[in-house]
């Protein structure tokens, strides 16, 4: 029998206070479902609206990249300072502790190596795996202008369709082939196509000229790709410029884990992304932390 004795009469109705409906903090994401928004809010910090993603997925097409030979030794010490890890299921299962609280963006496209045509990718992870691994987004490479442009776009739209069914966002990664021009016109084209076809956010490269037109013409958040290793001050300057010109964060790999002092570098990147620190100040922070021994 239901225990109904002593139930107090409900009276806290606050009839004079309308229920608040909170808008969502991420560009172009307000119409998404609760699960999608919740996952995006684990990638992007709701306070700054930005993210520091640590990209360590390089091995899926180029094997043990410099700095990633031993993820357990070189990368685990960086994890606490990243908002999100971008990696493959192989490294996630074999090396990353399940107690990790950082959100996971899972690389789901693949099937090629540096020995062959890179744009010839397929979807290499099924949706059940992404659900099982509790990931916050799935990353798919899109090769606009590449030999297998259409297949790579369709890979992305397939993941958008399947991910939407389960509330998992899709990150489109705009890949530049060897011969493609890296300019704002190209990245406007690539990012806009990905967004129009449903990507929930987009990773793209920074360009000095007109980067703000790339972010302005893309209706969903853009995170800046790191690219090949450059001096720390230059990498911090690039991240600063990207953020100030409309990027909602960074997804950096080699410029962090190939740094002389990776922990110091990721902390400096965080200062630029989340605190709007200038490149000069962030570099001073890097230098100080490095001198204090913040290598690992």
Q: Is 236 in the site for ligand R5P (CB under 6 A)?
A: no
CA distance 105 to 16: 43
CA atoms within 13 A on the CB side of 164: 13
Q: Is 207 in the site for ligand R5P (CB under 6 A)?
A: no
The residue within the footprint of ligand R5P, chosen from 58, 89, 245, 274 (CB under 6 A), is 58
Q: Is 78 in the site for ligand R5P (CB under 6 A)?
A: no
Q: Which two tokens stand for residue 112?
A: 């090629």
Q: Is 267 in the site for ligand R5P (CB under 6 A)?
A: no
CA distance 248 to 48: 9
For ligand R5P, the closer of residues 57 and 277 by Cβ is 57
Q: Please classify residue 200 by burial: count the beta carbons closer than 10 Å to its beta carbon, then call 0-12 exposed, 13-18 middle and 19+ buried.
A: buried
Q: Is 173 in the site for ligand R5P (CB under 6 A)?
A: yes
Tell the smallest beta-carbon distance from residue 253 to ligand R5P (Å): 3
Per CB under 6 A, which region of 5-13, 89-97, 248-256, 279-287 contacts ligand R5P?
A: 248-256
Q: Is 227 in the site for ligand R5P (CB under 6 A)?
A: yes
For residue 42, give Cα distances in angstroms to 24, 86, 253. Answer: 13, 13, 19
Number of neighbours of residue 294 by Cβ within 10 angstroms? 19
The angle subtended at Cα 182 by Cα 282 and Cα 105, nearest 5°, is 60
For ligand R5P, the closer of residues 254 and 290 by Cβ is 254
**DSSP assignments along 179-245, one per residue:** TS--SHHHHHHHHHHHHHTT-SEEEE---SSSHHHHHHT-SS-EEEE--S---HHHHHHHHHHHHHT
Would you give the binding string for ligand R5P spanning residues 17-56, x where CB under 6 A is met? --------------------------------------x-
CA distance 67 to 28: 35
For ligand R5P, the closer of residues 249 and 253 by Cβ is 253
CA distance 195 to 157: 10
Q: Is 67 in the site for ligand R5P (CB under 6 A)?
A: no
Q: Is 111 in the site for ligand R5P (CB under 6 A)?
A: no
The size of the interface with ligand R5P (CB under 6 A), counted in residues, is 13
Per CB under 6 A, which region of 29-37, 128-136, 148-156, 246-254 contacts ligand R5P?
A: 246-254
The residue within the footprint of ligand R5P, chosen from 123, 218, 222, 225 (CB under 6 A), is 225
CA distance 220 to 257: 28
What residue ranges bind ligand R5P (CB under 6 A)? 55, 57-58, 86, 173, 175, 225-227, 252-255
């Amino acid at each position: 029998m239901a225990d109904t004795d002593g139930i107090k009469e409900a009276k806290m109705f606050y009839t004079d206070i309308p229920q608040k409906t909170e808008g969502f903090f991420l560009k172009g994401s307000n119409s998404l479902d609760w699960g999608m928004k919740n996952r995006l809010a684990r990638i992007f910090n709701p306070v700054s609206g930005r993210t520091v993603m640590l990209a360590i997925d390089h091995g899926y097409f180029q094997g043990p990249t410099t700095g990633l030979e031993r993820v357990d030794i070189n990368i685990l010490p960086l994890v606490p300072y990243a908002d999100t890890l971008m990696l493959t299921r192989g490294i996630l299962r074999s090396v990353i502790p399940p107690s990790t609280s950082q959100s996971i963006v899972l690389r789901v496209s693949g099937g090629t190596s540096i020995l062959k045509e890179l744009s010839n990718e397929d979807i290499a992870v099924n949706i059940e795996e992404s659900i099982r691994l509790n990931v916050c987004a799935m990353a798919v490479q899109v090769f606009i202008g590449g030999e297998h442009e259409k297949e790579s776009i369709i890979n992305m739209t397939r993941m958008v369709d399947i991910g939407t069914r389960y509330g998992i966002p899709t990150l489109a990664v705009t890949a530049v082939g060897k011969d493609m021009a890296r300019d704002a016109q190209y990245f406007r084209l690539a990012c806009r196509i990905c967004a129009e076809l449903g990507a929930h956010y987009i990773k793209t490269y920074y360009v000095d000229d007109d980067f703000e037109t790339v972010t302005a013409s893309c209706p969903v958040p853009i995170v800046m790709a790191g690219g090949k290793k450059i001096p720390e001050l230059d990498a911090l300057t690039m991240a600063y410029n990207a953020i100030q010109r409309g990027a909602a964060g960074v997804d950096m790999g080699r410029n962090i884990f190939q740094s002389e002092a990776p922990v110091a570098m990721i902390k400096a990147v965080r200062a630029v992304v989340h605190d709007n620190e200038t490149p000069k100040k962030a570099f001073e922070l890097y230098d100080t932390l490095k001198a204090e021994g913040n290598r690992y």
